[in-house]
Structure 1
Amino acid sequence: MRRTCWGLLLGLAMLPCAALADDFDQGLQTLWEVLWHQSGTPTRIVRWENDIKVRFTGATAAAHHDHMMQALRTVTGEAGVKLVEVTGTPEADQANLVVEVLPDTALEDNQPCVTFLDFRTETRIDTALVQMRDRDAWRCAYHESMHVMGVRGHPAGQTVLSYFPWKIDGLLPLDRVMLHAWYSPKMMGGMTPFESLPVLADELLASLPPAARPAATAARDQFFATTVRQMQAYADGRGDVPAVVKRSGKSTPEGIRFGRGEMSYFLGVAYLEGSTVPRDATQAVRWLERAATMGNRGAQARLGAFRQ
């Protein structure tokens, strides 16, 4: 009789250990992909550092108000961020989140809803705008609410952020993992993918039953090593473009070129700080120099500080 691990992983009960391991590895891949913008470039962590004050607008906004508010309450509740509605109040002009319901002729058929995040620096969200077509508002609510919280990627895994959602009227377990990690004390705005990936992975690890965690920890470490190798090849321009870029949806040659420069910088920071990889000053300088030659100002500043 096959030995089984009891408990829950991503909402599934009593799965064999091998299945738990597969789900964990797929979960890690999804958490890595969520750190990539749909343009095909890796991103830093951005999040709210203050209360969210939401205002609804649009001729048919009232018809979608309750469902959208439920979605926003769900994501902010998971993140521990206070949500206040200011629609129709004296504080309406102080809203830092606007939800606009548009006519069905607006936007594009392949993008019936969109979220714009505004930040002066790529660390803290200052304001956000959600636009959605009237006929699509119901299915956009949870997807766009995740984006509102700063989670910008469109991974292929089991999450409402996927272009092919598994569920459209609530969050999936991986979405909750993302939000818990994104707004945990261990996460900070401006973190690079290699700084934030361990925080996300640890939150996923904590969702496992205790008996499965030792094997999952080894799988996590292997995933880190494999991902770093893939990203080194990508930053160097060696081999095929990684699947995470191909799946980003709107990647362009310019986006890929920019992404290689950003990834070189992120690798340099990772080796400099020992994030996801062991500290290695030689590797740090190598990648920072590569990024600096590609015009990355962050890399130029880090090199200057490192050499002082």
Structure 2
Amino acid sequence: MTVVMGIETSCDETGVGFVQDGVLLGDALASSMAEHARFGGVVPEIAARAHVQAMVPTVQAALLDAGITLADVGAVAVTAGPGLATALHVGVAAAKAYALALGVPLYGVHHLAGHAAADTLEHGPLPARSVGLIVSGGHTSLLSVRDLVRTPIVHLSDTVDDAAGEAFDKVARLIGLPYPGGPSIDRAAKEGDRDAIRFPRPFTGPHDPPLGFSFSGLKTAVARHVEAHPDVNAEDVAASFQEAVADVLTAKALRACRDEDVETLVIVGGVAANSRIRELAAERCAAAGVDLRIPPMRLCTDNGAMIAAIGDLLVRDGATPSDPGFSAVPTVELRQAQLV
């Protein structure tokens, strides 16, 4: 059985993981988030420099966690896209160097396929058919998934503007909460009343796309509320905004399950770590008789384990390795796990 090393550098976290036959052996993560906080968002050049500095120490830490050496590695997988161009290039260059030095095959994979594969590390292989909800800082999509490595992934819907995670960051800034907005709003919401303010549920009208997403208008509604109420309670705004997002995401995900006649919903991505989304999804899936799968919180955000997981699936399926001359692809829609 092949030990697969996964390298993830799509944004501000340097992740390395090792997976063998569907089992996570060990992983490590280095984040440059603190360096971006004063800018209120990720600065690509800072992220890229941080990846260069963190790469070798993170590989060494992951090897130590896994209890293996580089000599045990039989394949390398790396995020080839989507993501920040400069950050992706660091990971791709490192992966090529390790694969060449070790004499092992290399696989350039899609970042979002990695998020979906992260769930298999906790719950085992995906069922024959499922609906996937990917919610992150840059993506909000509903997918029809059969498997992650052979059958093309079908997009049922995507956000037309802000992704859910992007909306969390912008709303956090509006109410004076620190970056990153997702964890800040989740913490503040625990002290607030989610019924205090009835924010709109975007794209839920009779003439709207039934599975479509849009969060820009919701962000604007929060901004107008804050302008009209200078003494606003930040915890109530956080809880009410979070409730609106969780309501829309889970309702549309269950609608997709009904439309596709599937019994499994898989929610992945950084925003899947949000406690209210996890809670409401569990309630609604239980009521609808749908099996809910969400990775552990530490595997929801970007990490190397998820890239090793999708690489492991490709290796076990006998996929042809990527051409060693491939480059990063900063913008690419998820249609298949292997990009190049």
TM-score range, shorter-chain basis? under 0.3
Q: Taking CA–CA contacts closer than 8 Å with sequence separation of 6 or more, which of the two structures ends up with the larger relative contact order?
A: 2
Which is richer in strand? 2
